[in-house]
Structure 1
Amino acid sequence: MLTRRRFKQTRTLDQRLAEEAARLRDEARALPAGHKREMLLRKARQDETAVQIEAWLRSPGLRAPT
């Protein structure tokens, strides 16, 4: 049976997503207008949206009903 390789993340999900979004935007700036550039920008926007959703889910105002 195969075993999963496990490792501990050293940075939070928010940090990793924000860094990836910044990297993708930088990479897109270097490309001419076209499909590949639009896909990179789209992925960067998705990462930024994920950071916002993560922050919203962790906000103190959002709690499960008791």
Structure 2
Amino acid sequence: MLSRLRTNNPKGLGATLTFKQIQSLEERLAEIAKRLREEAKSLPPGMERQEKLRKAWQAETGSHVSEWLRSPGLPLPE
């Protein structure tokens, strides 16, 4: 979910749009994974169902990786 839309240029010409996220990346990925799994349940076995399940797994994995990267115990790269 996005809170609001802003432009970097006050005159609005050639402006770059920026969005402020309300939910964390982990929360958004978890919601996407849940939605994809629900959609997959309603589909018969086949390629489309497998694709939705694969994308749900990718979203969950991305959420876990992001959480891990943000953890305070992660050592800094040298």
TM-score above 0.5: yes
> Over aligned residues, Cα RMSD in angstroms?
1.6
Aligned length: 66
The structure with the largest strand share of the pair is: 2
Query: Over alpha carbons, which structure has the higher Rg?
Result: 2
Please give the alpha-carbon distance, in whole angstroms, between the structure 2 residues aligned to 1:62 and 1:42: 28
Unaligned runs of 5+ in 2: 1-12
Q: Which runs of 4+ in 1 moved over 3 A?
A: none
SS in 2 for 1:7: strand
Q: Give the number of the structure with larger relative contact order, counting CA–CA contacts within 8 Å between residues 6 or more apart.
A: 1
Unaligned runs of 5+ in 1: none
Moved more, 20-29 or 50-59: 50-59
- Candidates 48, 66, 69, aligned match of 1:54: 66
1:5 counterpart = 2:5: no
Distance of aligned partners of 1:2 and 1:63 in 2 relative to their CA distance in 1, 3 Å threshold: same
Q: Normalising by structure 1, report the TM-score.
A: 0.88
The structure with the largest helix share of the pair is: 1
SS in 2 for 1:23: helix
Within-5 A mapping of 1:31-46: 31-46=43-58
